Structure 1
Amino acid sequence: MSEQNKPNQSRRQLLKNIGLSVAASTVISGTATAVQAKVEQPENNKNDNTTGYRETQHVRDYYETL
């Protein structure tokens, strides 16, 4: 009967380990997010030859037909 009154130590240890694992993973994921959030500043290059949208005369002519 004395064995029935003793608490199960392995079960308590398992619950402690689960709690510590969750806390540790939360801290690690928060640190990893802060490291990944670093933003690099683009270089200011005045001679940038981009081929983006340009409103030229034939584009304006098309817009007038709409």
Structure 2
Amino acid sequence: MKAANKQLAEWDAELNQLHERNGDLGLKVQMLEQELKEARRDRGENRNSVPTIAEFPEPAETYNPPPC
């Protein structure tokens, strides 16, 4: 009987450790999901604020500015 109780106590301790570790992993997953949501939101905001077409002066204007 003592051996069975000892085995049950060991399993109980191991189960508690697994619950603690899984709880920590669950919290980490939640944090990463929140971070991903924020990154996606920021990406959308950045995509809307950046012009899609860049306008550059003609090379001749850059190298040969008009006389003053």
State the TM-score, normalizing by the size of structure 2: 0.51
Does residue 1:37 correspond to 2:44, yes or no?
no
Q: Percent identity?
A: 6
Superposition RMSD on alpha carbons, in Å? 3.2
Does residue 1:5 correspond to 2:4, yes or no?
yes
**Which structure has the highest helix share of the two?**
2
Output one character per residue of 1:1-57: Cα deviation in whole Å (capped at 9) or x when no partner.
51x21211321111111211222211111111001112222277xxxxx5x678xxx
Q: Given residue 42 of structure 1, which amino acid in structure 2 is its aligned partner?
A: S
Q: Deviation above 6 Å: which 4+ runs of structure 1? A: none
Q: Which residue of 1 aligns with 2:21?
A: 18
- How many residue pairs get matched? 52
Inter-CA distance 42–23: structure 2 relative to 1 (3 Å threshold)? same
Question: Unaligned regions of 5+ residues in structure 1, if any?
Answer: 45-49, 55-66
State the TM-score, normalizing by the size of structure 1: 0.52
